[in-house]
Structure 1
């Protein structure tokens, strides 16, 4: 006990102290003394002996990367501890963790602070946020591996110089991470996670994987979910293989990686859902009127129209449920959903072309089409050809989950669709360009023909409303409204999205109005004497002035 010098009866007397000492604590590092540090370094260092032809500054061949991962399991038996830092070659390092007590297997956390930093083993999940990168291998993966390997282990190898894919895709930080457990691990419910914290990047991050096959990486987002919020990126994948975060550009137009504002995305989603719902309703009415209420034999033109209505109905239906299936996180289900929607879209395009072909053939033959089993032949071509394309793409693995991003990174919409840009451009855009040129040319010819009939007929009146419905009906029947997708560039991009979405969402509604107004005219009259093929000699009175059924055949040539 200390006492002041002024105390009259001090318990303990000490000399006066004139010096004062001030201690300031400024260190920010956590110096743990006699405590359990959650950050552990590997127990030993191992050089993986794999022959590589990589030189300083060169890229590592994809086949060599696969060869390296195949050799990781050989290290487990030579390890003396429970973990080891692995060095392979320049830019290729990693860590292997084995579970010496299989009964106590837990999630394994591996983290590092920079691409050139050594990897550490983390013993609690809370500490991961102090690093800039981390890999989490779930307990479920170890449980699955235990049935095929003697000692469960997880090897995480980091590649900083892996060769680019055919598209020369941009990889975040040039970092490719590969996870190996000595056996194939798929369909994880407790998914493997890769975290990137406080990252600076340009574009939209998207988590991809590659199965290690081929001479170049073939990245796909199948089985991986991307979550990003500002500078933080999280990849959740249901399988183990090679992983990378690919960057999509903000500026370049890509139908498979679109970037629009959140408000525009919400507005377009509402318009599409409401419009497709209404279209399906009115297309159902058209089918009901045709199959249940129609009393006379349908003309060839009407049969073709009903095929188009059926294809369009199924396209709208698959589009409406697409997002629901995508959110189920089922890889197989999403591929099937994408294949079905793609098939019905191609079938719809084909029936647009068939409509144009039929109208041209009617004008050329004067309404007397004498092709044997005409409807059967065009039906087989229109329904079978798209199915062949869909089956081939499904076998090649070109279908999967796609994500529509917003520019503010706050909202995304998942859908099941084609995962390859080149396939999308060739199969979808390329095919529709051919169909559009043919149908648009036919549209101009039909309009010219209708106006010619108007000038040659007298004593008939018409309303502008019926003219507009006639033109809209032809546009929808020939798929002209899909052509607005060609204007989705630059300043016209967002307006064209709205026009394209509105017109095509209500395409079924326009066809219903058109069908309803024309369903009572141009019917095929059955001969009282039972003459065969009476429909080959029927006439129509289609014109902008009379507004009678344009689906039936044109007047016979004299």
Structure 2
């Protein structure tokens, strides 16, 4: 969604990437807003901790999409203060999104370790404070150092250069953004690999008469895990040399439509299983203890009142 400072790209590629990103961000934001509407206005029962964490990721992504769509308009106004503010807010929302990717991975790890029964006092509150405050510290430091402002994305034709509000220092961009995400990626990709292995094992254990349904759920689970943990952002690591332009296209397409994929995943996970009654809860308590994070994997309803909630 953003280009590294001081790099040149062809005007044709820039136009295509810009068009794909704007359309994708618009659709992404639309579907993210639907998820928020469903969560806050339609739900009838108390959400699980997993769903609450997912909603915070949706909020961060929605803010990121909104600020990106507004970015070029603010940059064209040539207002230095406004451009710095938008750049800082957009950077904050991006770092917050990265942080929530890591939180999703940590939450899944905790579910694996505790067999789906995480017992931490004010768990979600602590996670929220850490996830929203940590990026703000980085952004405030960069604001003080004056690292935000108008950035020019250069093409072979100077008249077709595009301006945006972003980080003006290339070294800061690579150290902070790439470095920050690299740490997140190690955690999320490791967790994704573990969960994918778990899904494959789970699939083998299904009965033959349920194979088709479980195959569909597993596919949605894999897609949901990729989106929730930001694995697709890893294509940014290949944006060098001959792979730079192809990786830009793959990165832009996958991440621009991330909100749409999250909506599909959220809807599937929300409606995949009907709510349990008290009788069914008692009869299936043993099986639930062996199902790790069912709501995050798309194998269960995220709005189930689990014991102790």
The match for 1:450 is: 199
Measured in 1, the distance between the counterparts of 2:275 and 2:53 equals: 15
Shift in Å, 1:258: 2.3
Secondary structure of 1:446's counterpart equals: helix
- Tell me the distance in 2 between the aligned counterparts of 1:256 and 1:550: 44
Q: Flag structure 1 segments of 5+ consecutive residues without an equivalent.
A: 1-253, 529-533, 554-558
Deviations 1:393-425 (A, max 9, x none): 111111110000112333111111111122112
CA distance in 1, matches of 2:268, 2:47: 16
Q: Structure 1 length as normaliser, TM-score?
A: 0.50
Task: Give CA-to-partner distance per residue, 1:307-335, whole Å, 9 cap, x none.
Answer: 00000000000011011111111111111
Q: Does 1:277 align with 2:26?
A: yes
Query: Could you give the per-residue CA deviations for residues 43-63 of structure 1, whole angstroms, max 9, x where no partner exists?
Result: xxxxxxxxxxxxxxxxxxxxx
CA distance in 2, matches of 1:524, 1:352: 28
TM-score, normalisation: structure 2: 0.88
Residue among 244, 248, 257 paired with 1:506 = 257
RMSD: 2.6
Structure 1 residue 494 corresponds to structure 2 residue 245: yes
1:460 lines up with 2:210 in the alignment: yes
Aligned partners of 1:522 and 1:540 also within 8 Å: no
Q: Distance in 1 between matches of 2:201 and 2:8?
A: 46
Change (3 A) 1:283 1:348: same
Other-structure match for 2:223:
472
- Correspondence 1:381 to 2:127: no
Cα deviation digits, residues 177-236 of structure 1 (max 9, x gap) = xxxxxxxxxxxxxxxxxxxxxxxxxxxxxxxxxxxxxxxxxxxxxxxxxxxxxxxxxxxx
Q: Is this contact kept in 2: 1:301–1:552, CA < 8 A?
A: no
> In structure 2, how many angstroms separate the alpha carbons of the residues matched to 1:547 and 1:370?
22
| Corresponding position of 2:282 | none
**Compared with structure 1, are the counterparts of its residues 294 and 488 closer, same or farther at alpha carbon in structure 2 (3 Å cutoff)?**
same
Structure with greater helix share of residues? 2
CA–CA distance in structure 2, aligned partners of residues 504 and 538 of structure 1: 34
1:549 to 285, 300, 306: 300
Q: Hey, what does 1:317 align to over in structure 2?
A: 66
| Structure 2: stretches of 5+ with no match in the other structure | 280-284, 305-309
1:439 aligns with 2:166: no
Deviation, structure 1 residue 525: 5.2
Tell me by how many angstroms 1:522 deviates. Answer: 5.7
Structure number with higher relative contact order (C-alpha < 8 Å, ≥ 6 residues apart) = 2
Counterpart CA distance in 2 for 1:374 and 1:522 is: 26
Alignment of 1:177-256 (within 5 A): 255-256=4-5
Question: How many residue pairs end up in the alignment?
Answer: 293
Structure 1 CA distance for aligned equivalents of residues 211 and 265 of structure 2: 19
Change (3 A) 1:308 1:331: same
Q: Out of 156, 160, 165, which is 1:416 matched to? A: 165
In the TM superposition, residue 523 of structure 1 has moved relative to its aligned partner by 7.3
The answer to whether 1:519 aligns with 2:262 is: no
Equivalent residue for 1:5?
none
- Going from structure 1 to structure 2, the CA distance change for 1:524 and 1:424 (only over 3 Å counts) comes to farther
